[in-house]
Amino acid sequence: MREASYATKELLVQMNNSSDPTEIRDLLSRITASEIDESVAVFTPLYINYGKHTRIGKNVFINYDCVFLDLGGITIEDNVLLAPKVSLLSEAHPISPEERHSLVPKPIHIKRNAWIGANATILQGVTIGENSVVAAGSVVSKDVPDNTIVGGTPAKIIKTI
């Protein structure tokens, strides 16, 4: 895994030093081993530890300084907005000190039209519902229903849309 992560890092260095949207998408396609649609916009830098377990839909906007830890899998559906400094963390460590050096991967799924606010963190195993909004600075540890606004640490339902 470390060798694969270093290969990803090499591509990330190129991507994060580019200002050409087409080149950024092409490099992200290589990192994710999937085609990134021309409607996707990525404002670099973007940090990904592996990449091959990330899927990005159409018309997705990824703002500056986002972090994807994708060993558990990350799916971002169409029309999703990620504000600056969003972290999608699909992996964690066990609580037990004896097991802490291992990883527990669980997928993250962000459904259509969701908006994740600045500096929000989505933890492993979480699904963000269609049309939902995660308030800036939130830490989301549980699924968010469709058409819902959540916020806080841990994130709680604020209202429905």
Tally of domains within the chain: 1
CATH number at residue 156: 2.160.10.10
Q: Reduced to 3 states, what is the DSSP secondary structure of residue 150? A: strand
Residues 139/154, Cβ–Cβ less than 8 Å: yes
Peptide bond into 107 cis (omega under 30): no
Split at pLDDT 50, 70, 90, the class of 29 is very high
Domain ranges, residue 151: 2-160
Can you tell me the mean pLDDT for 14-42? 98
- 69: pLDDT strictly greater than 90: yes
Split at pLDDT 50, 70, 90, the class of 1 is confident
Q: Reduced to 3 states, what is the DSSP secondary structure of residue 55? A: strand
- Report percent pLDDT > 70 for the chain: 100
Can you tell me the mean pLDDT for 74-92? 98
Split at pLDDT 50, 70, 90, the class of 2 is confident
Give the chain's mean pLDDT: 97
Q: Which residue has the tokens 């291992």?
A: 102
Q: b or e along 38-75 (b: 16 or more beta carbons within 10 Å of the residue's beta carbon)?
A: eebebebebebbbbebbbbbebbebbebbebbbbbbbb
- Determine the pLDDT at residue 79: 98
- 101 flagged as catalytic: no
Can you tell me the mean pLDDT for 40-53? 97
Express each pLDDT in 88-127 by its tens digit. Answer: 999 999 999 999 999 999 999 999 999 999 999 999 999 9
